[in-house]
């Protein structure tokens, strides 16, 4: 039996990049997967590929920055697949890339509403059901930017730093009731987000040549590892693909 047979996962930001890889990997390992992104056609295409490969998938076009929407996502997940065991808060945006003095206030708030309030919304909607069923796993996709300011990324760094504190708060309140929460830093990986970062020319990350970026598949392995019992001894941590000990667990 595959590792996640009988489990139900909800993956936000699953239309491309890390979220697409994680949704496909969880489905290949037996989970029924609900895929979310604003572009319904793009996320529908990924779900169709999973279904064609023999997996179980449901695509929903939705914006995680709206609480009522995330409540509906969780309700639809439970209605279709009978539960929710794994929540992957992966949806995120880099913009606005601008220095604080010239940044657009509305764009700054929008970043926080997607990268920090979005995960809160999904957790708030999912947690009561997870507690009622005796447990569940939550992975909040973090970043080295949670710990380090980078020029032009004040919104992104602030949101990711807040998300790590939010992970710790969930862990503090819910670990004893079976909730396994992790932060996960994927490293600098070759996705569309990095295309936008390179185009900006802002800060050292934008100067990294595409050829030096890590493959998405490595980070997918790391995130999926956290969803299984092998990671029970590191519950409550911000696991990072830059950490030698964590990569060693993955055989990387």
Q: Which is nearer to ligand NAP, 175 or 190 (CB)?
A: 190
Q: Which of 67, 120, 147, 156 is catalytic?
A: 156
The helix/strand/coil state of 67 is helix
Q: Which two tokens stand for residue 36?
A: 């979310």
Smallest separation (angstroms) from ligand NAP to the CB of 116 = 11
Q: Which is nearer to ligand NAP, 55 or 183 (CB)?
A: 183
Q: Which is nearer to ligand NAP, 136 or 187 (CB)?
A: 187
d(CA 39, CA 15): 7
- Residue 156 a catalytic site member: yes
Smallest separation (angstroms) from ligand NAP to the CB of 128 = 22
Residues 19, 25, 29, CA angle at the centre, nearest 5°?
A: 145
Smallest separation (angstroms) from ligand NAP to the CB of 141 = 4
Q: Which is nearer to ligand NAP, 28 or 112 (CB)?
A: 112
Q: Which is nearer to ligand NAP, 172 or 195 (CB)?
A: 195
Smallest separation (angstroms) from ligand NAP to the CB of 222 = 12
d(CA 152, CA 50): 37
Q: Which two tokens stand for residue 214?
A: 């890590």
State the residue number with the nearest CB to ligand NAP. Answer: 17
| Diameter of the chain measured on Cα atoms | 55
φ, ψ (nearest 5 deg) of residue 188: -90, 105
d(CA 119, CA 169): 13
Smallest separation (angstroms) from ligand NAP to the CB of 102 = 22
Cα distances (Å, whole numbers) of residue 76 to 61, 80, 89, 166, 215: 12, 6, 17, 25, 32
- The residues that touch ligand NAP, with contacts defined as CB under 6 A, are 12-19, 36-39, 42, 63-65, 90-93, 114, 118, 141, 143, 186, 188-189, 191-194
H/E element, 132:
helix 117-132
Q: Active-site residues: which are they?
A: 156
């Amino acid at each position: 039996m595959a590792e996640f047979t009988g489990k139900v996962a909800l993956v936000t930001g699953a239309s491309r990049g890390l979220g697409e890889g994680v949704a496909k990997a969880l489905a290949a390992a037996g989970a029924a997967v609900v895929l979310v992104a604003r572009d319904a056609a793009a996320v529908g295409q990924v779900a169709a590929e999973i279904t064609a490969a023999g997996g179980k998938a449901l695509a929903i076009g939705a914006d995680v920055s709206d609480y009522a929407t995330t409540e509906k996502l969780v309700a639809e997940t439970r209605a279709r697949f009978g539960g929710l065991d794994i929540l992957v808060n992966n949806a995120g945006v880099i913009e606005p890339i601008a220095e604080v003095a010239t940044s657009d206030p509305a764009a700054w708030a929008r970043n926080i509403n997607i990268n920090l309030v979005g995960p809160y919304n999904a957790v708030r909607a999912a947690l009561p059901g997870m507690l009622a069923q005796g447990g569940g796993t939550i992975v909040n996709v973090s970043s080295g930017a949670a710990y380090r300011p980078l020029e032009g990324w004040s919104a992104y760094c602030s949101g990711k730093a807040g998300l790590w504190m939010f992970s710790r708060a969930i862990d503090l309140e819910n670990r004893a009731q079976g909730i396994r929460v992790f932060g996960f830093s994927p490293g600098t990986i070759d996705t569309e987000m990095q295309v936008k970062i390179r185009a900006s020319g802002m800060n050292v990350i934008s100067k990294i040549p595409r050829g030096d970026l890590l493959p998405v598949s490595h980070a997918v392995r790391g995130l999926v590892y956290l969803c299984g019992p092998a990671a029970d001894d590191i519950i409550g941590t911000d696991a990072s693909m830059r950490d030698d000990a964590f990569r060693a667990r993955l055989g990387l």
